[in-house]
Amino acid sequence: MNVRREQSGPGGDHGRFLELLKKQIEANLKTSTHGEQSAPMTKRDMFDLSQFQDEYAFEHSISQYGIQVKSLYHNASPAVLYELALKYEAGSYISDTGALMCSSGVKTGRSPQDKRLVEESTSSDDVWWGRVNIKLSEASYATNRERAIDYLNLQERLYVVDAFAGWDPEYRVRIRVIASRAYHALFMQNMLVMPTKEELKNFEPDFIIYNAGSFPANRYADGITSQTAVLLHFGRGEMVLLGTQYAGEMKKGVFTLMMYLMPKMGQLPLHSSCNVGPDGDVTLFFGLSGTGKTTLSADPRRSLIGDDEHVWTDTGVFNIEGGCYAKCIGLSHEKEPEIYDAIRFGAVLENVCFDIDQRNPDYDDTGVTENTRACYPLQHIPNAITPAVTQTHPTNIILLTCDAFGVLPPIARLTPEQVMYHFISGYTAKVAGTEQGITEPQATFSSCFGAPFLVRHPIVYAEMLADKLKAHNAAAWLINTGWVGGGYGKGSRIKLRYTRAMIDAIHDKALEDVEYETSQIFNLSVPKHVPNVPDDVLMPSRSWANKTEYMKALSKLSQLFVKNFETYADQCPPEVQHAGPVTSGKLPHPPSSSAMAHLQSPQPSRGASPRANETEPHPENFPEDISKGGRLELTGVEGVLNGVHKTKTEVK
Ligand SMILES: Nc1ncnc2c1ncn2[C@@H]1O[C@H](COP(=O)(O)OP(=O)(O)O)[C@@H](O)[C@H]1O
Ligand SMILES: C=C(OP(=O)(O)O)C(=O)O
């Protein structure tokens, strides 16, 4: 739809209806008396009472929130949004392949420290309060909400997007975005699932995003600490954005909503990508931002379901989103052809530098940010499946970690207990740019590989995953897409083609009959050979030139794992507690009971059984305290539990 709507002035609802009717009749008359002979009326010109009713209902609905702007662009076509962005939004251009290039201004990544959840009666008991979910009072929310609406009301024109979060009609949520920028509207039209004309009729949103990101928050309001505010109110079904125009906040706001809602419906939301093989086998790739979900799920041999946010339901998996949001840094046709070619008319390029004459993007230029992005509809990927739903349960679960210490093997097969341990731990690195203030990879524990988006306690999601794994017997793998041969600054990021070869080997079942060896400390089962990957890349103890440095880094990382897991240990069965690194021959925590207690220890039946590796040096040969000298430090937000720490969790 490409509808520009003029909103009513005084005269009340009835008056407005008549006014609309009059306008339409005049337009029809003009068309039918044009020229000597009656010009044929287009379908759009024809009197259509139902269209009036829809427009009327829409306007009525918008005005209920106090929005009084005259020009509303409702689910406008990409072409119209392009024109408006180019005309009114500084820093907007068309790229040589037809993408809309936009600037998000000062904020070029998410602002997790400015995210707040309103403490209110309908949701408060379910929330994992702490540093991820920081409380905000109703009063402070009201102040900032009003500020956002006041700002939106000052605009000449606003953009409204009505669309769904979720491809499965049973679980989808109706989202309305009200924004002051055409770029934000196009972004969300790509990222949400657009309704059909029929579905748009009587569309009453469950959740509204007020995006007033070009205007600062009131930093003197109680609980607000900067001019940026990313506010969620589950009771009201609302999100308010002030002081950030980074479009990723909206999509992650919707994901946060799904992280809250889906467990209420007994379904498991995951920060993961998903694709399907020619035989219908489904793979989920879990990972924090920058670990490779988008890159690795875009695979010419497999069909894409989605690149970032999914729900594993009782019947299969559905994508929450209608599009992808890929990182562009270092993008080339050679390395990532599907993503490169998806950047064409309809796609949004965010904060990408380009040649001023030719308008061709320079994907190597980090002049604005390292977090340059492309957002495009799923349909821009040649083998994407829409509706993005599969009725099959996953065969493979791949945990992606970007290890900036460079000590985790590039690929390891996990036992069910190890999956739970690593899922709960969520060890990875934040890559530069995705969050404000992160300028180089920082090691972090981001529970469930998505701590910034968790609403409930991580154990809630972990227990649901344990149930799914038990029921569907998926094979699980840990893939380190981070550093090899040394940590950040010394080693190098593992070549994408090697990671792809490992993923291919998983899908080709080429790792079922190879020999495995066990890595020390982490006790990970590592294949000795992977087709098209040099053997010496596979085991870190061999890929590091300096073995002493390696043992120091290994020892340090394992200590960090143990420390981090202390927070969760009392909620996990002994098998899961013992599935982490063993640093001193002593197991860190006493056994306990939990919903995960059904997990049993034996290795999964697939493939050859791992064999102990006799060649690796042992860290106890390197007794120095390396925690002082390490180059990488853990950042604080993830992995640290604050506030409510539930001893018993249940799905509500
Ligand atoms: N071995 C690798 N595996 C996956 N991605 C890699 C690898 N090496 C470099 N990269 C780069 O890392 C980035 C991964 O980003 P992306 O796939 O968007 O992550 P996510 O979807 O998890 O946020 C891409 O820019 C990709 O080119
Ligand atoms: C958009 C984000 O995530 P991803 O890179 O996973 O898309 C983000 O973390 O801001």
DSSP structure string for 5-59: EEPP-SSHHHHHHHHHHHHHHHHHHHHHTSSSSPPPPPTTTS--HHHHHHHHHHH
17: pLDDT strictly greater than 70: no
Q: pLDDT band for 616, please (50, 70, 90 cuts).
A: very low
CA–CA dist 47, 44 (Å, integer):
8
Q: How many CA atoms lie within 13 A of 211 on its CB side?
A: 29
Q: Is the CB of 253 under 6 A from ligand 2?
A: no
Q: Exactly one of 107, 116, 271, 422 is catalytic; name it.
A: 271
Q: Which of 123, 273, 289, 447 is catalytic?
A: 289
Q: Kindly report, residue by residue over 363-388, the tens digit of the pLDDT.
A: 999 999 999 999 999 999 999 999 99
Confidence of residue 632 (pLDDT cuts 50, 70, 90): very low
Any atom of ligand 2 within 6 Å of the Cβ of 297: no
Q: So what's the pLDDT on residue 635?
A: 34
The catalytically annotated residue of 110, 115, 251, 413 is 110
pLDDT at res. 439: 75
- Give the pLDDT confidence score for residue 442 in this predicted structure: 79
DSSP label of 110: B
Specify the pLDDT at position 20.
61
- pLDDT computed for residue 67 by the predictor: 95
373 lines ligand 2 (CB under 6 A): no
Q: pLDDT at residue 170 above 90?
A: yes
Residue range 280-297: average pLDDT?
A: 96
597 pLDDT higher than 90 = no
State how many domains the chain has: 2
- Strands of the sheet containing 238-242, edge to edge, are 3-6, 71-74, 157-165, 173-179, 207-212, 238-242, 229-233, 115-118, 134-136
**ipTM of the shown complex:** 0.97
Q: How far apart are CA 70 and CA 205, in angstroms?
A: 21
In a domain, 438, yes or no: yes
Would you say the CB of residue 293 lies under 6 angstroms from ligand 1?
yes
Catalytic residue among 283, 294, 297, 543: 294
In the set 281, 299, 307, 308, the catalytic residue is 308
Give the residue-averaged pLDDT of 209-236: 97
252 C-alpha to ligand 2 centroid (Å): 7
CATH number, domain with residue 553: 3.90.228.20
Query: 321 CB less than 6 Å from ligand 2?
Result: no
**Ligand with smallest separation from the Cα of 434:** 2
Residue 430 annotated as catalytic: no
**Structure confidence at residue 453 as a pLDDT band (50, 70, 90):** very high
Does the beta carbon of 325 sit less than 6 angstroms from any atom of ligand 2?
yes
Asked if residue 401 has its Cβ within 6 Å of ligand 1, the reply is: no
Ligand 1 atom with the smallest distance to the CA of 327 is 18
84, 92 contact by CB (below 8 A): no
Please give the mean pLDDT across all residues of the chain: 85
Helix H or strand E segment including 192? none
From CA 32, how far away is CA 52, in angstroms rounded?
20
Residue 309 lies in a domain: no
What pLDDT shows up at residue 15?
61
Tell me, what's the pLDDT at 248? 98
* Identity at 165, one-letter amino acid code: A
Is 321 a member of any domain?
Answer: no
pLDDT band at 431 (very low <50, low <70, confident <90, very high): confident
- At 83, the amino acid letter reads E
Q: Where are the alpha helices (DSSP H) in 508-626?
A: 535-538, 540-543, 547-569, 574-577
294 is catalytic: yes
pLDDT tens digits, 382-426: 999 999 999 999 999 999 999 999 999 999 999 999 999 999 999
Q: Is the pLDDT of residue 570 over 70?
A: yes
Determine whether 289 is an active site residue. yes
Neighbours of 528 (CB within 10 A): 14
Q: Which of 561, 579, 597 is the last residue of a domain?
A: 579
- Are residue 564 and residue 426 in the same domain, yes or no? yes
What's the whole-model pTM score? 0.85
Q: How far apart are CA 409 and CA 537, in angstroms?
A: 8
CA nearest 249: which of 73, 435, 447, 62? 435
Which residue's alpha carbon is at the smallest distance from atom 4 of ligand 2? 289
How many angstroms is it from 624 CA to the middle of ligand 2? 37
Q: Which of 459, 463, 486, 475 is nearest to 509 (CA)?
A: 475
pLDDT at 360 over 90: yes
Same domain, 255 and 402: no
- Amino acid identity of residue 7, one-letter, is Q
How many whole angstroms from 460 Cα to the centroid of ligand 1? 28
List pLDDT tens digits, range 531-566: 999 999 999 999 999 999 999 999 999 999 999 999
Can you tell me the mean pLDDT for 441-454? 92
Q: Which residue, judged by its Cα, is nearest atom 5 of ligand 2? A: 289
CA pair distance 409, 416, nearest whole angstrom: 18
Any ligand 2 atom below 6 A from CB of 249: no
Q: Which atom of ligand 2 is nearest to the CA of 251?
A: 1
Of 535, 560, 579, which residue is a domain's last? Answer: 579
Distance of CA 598 from the midpoint of ligand 1 (Å): 35
On whether residue 99 sits in a domain, the answer given is: yes
219, two tokens: 């930093």
Judged by its nearest atom, the ligand closest to the C-alpha of residue 297 is: 1
Q: Which domain holds residue 122?
A: 58-265
Atom of ligand 1 nearest to the CA of 336: 27
Domain boundary among 265, 281, 304: 265
- The residue-averaged pLDDT of 174-197 equals 98
Ligand nearest to the CA of 293: 1
On the question of pLDDT at 641 being above 90, the answer is no
Note whether 364 and 287 are within 8 A (CB). Answer: no
Pocket test for ligand 1, best of 295, 372, 495 (most atoms within 8 A of CB): 295
Would 588 be classed as within a structural domain?
A: no
**Residue 367 buriedness (CB in 10 A; 0-12 / 13-18 / 19+):** exposed
User: pLDDT confidence of 28, banded at 50, 70, 90?
Assistant: low
Set 145, 174, 373, 380: catalytic member: 373
For residue 481 and ligand 2, the question of a CB distance below 6 A is answered with: no
Residue in 107, 435, 90, 438 with CA at minimum distance from that of residue 244: 107
Is 132 within the bounds of a domain?
Answer: yes
Query: Taking the alpha carbons of 451, 454, 455, 460 in that order, is the dihedral positive or negative?
Result: negative
Residue 127 in domain: yes
Catalytic, out of 181, 252, 430, 456 = 252
What pLDDT is recorded for position 19?
67
What residue's CA is closest to ligand 2, atom 3? 289
| Ligand 2 neighbourhood includes 110 CB (under 6 angstroms) | yes
> In percent, how much of the chain has pLDDT > 90?
75
Looking at the domain assignment, is residue 179 inside a domain? yes
Q: CA 233, CA 477: separation in Å to the nearest integer?
A: 37
Residues 6+ apart with CB under 8 A from 279: none
SS3 state of residue 562: helix
327, 371, 375, 488, best to mutate for ligand 1 pocket (most atoms within 8 Å of CB): 327
Q: What is the pLDDT of residues 308-319, one digit of tens each?
A: 999 999 999 999
Q: Please work out whether the CB of residue 252 comes within 6 Å of at least one atom of ligand 2.
A: yes
- Does 252 qualify as catalytic in the annotation? yes
pLDDT recorded at residue 629: 29
Q: Is residue 93 predicted with pLDDT exceeding 60?
A: yes
Q: How far is CA 484 from each of CA 193, 202, 409, 494, rounded to the nearest angstrom?
A: 39, 54, 8, 6
Dist. CA 584 → ligand 1 center (Å): 35
- How many other CB atoms are there within 10 angstroms of residue 359's CB atom? 15
* Cβ of 481 less than 6 Å from ligand 1: yes
292 lines ligand 2 (CB under 6 A): no
Q: Is the CB of 292 under 6 A from ligand 1?
A: yes
Please indicate whether residue 410, judged by its CB atom, sits closer than 6 Å to ligand 1: no
Q: Give the largest CA-CA distance in the chain.
A: 98
pLDDT of 172: 98
Check which CATH number belongs to the domain holding 151 and give it: 3.40.449.10
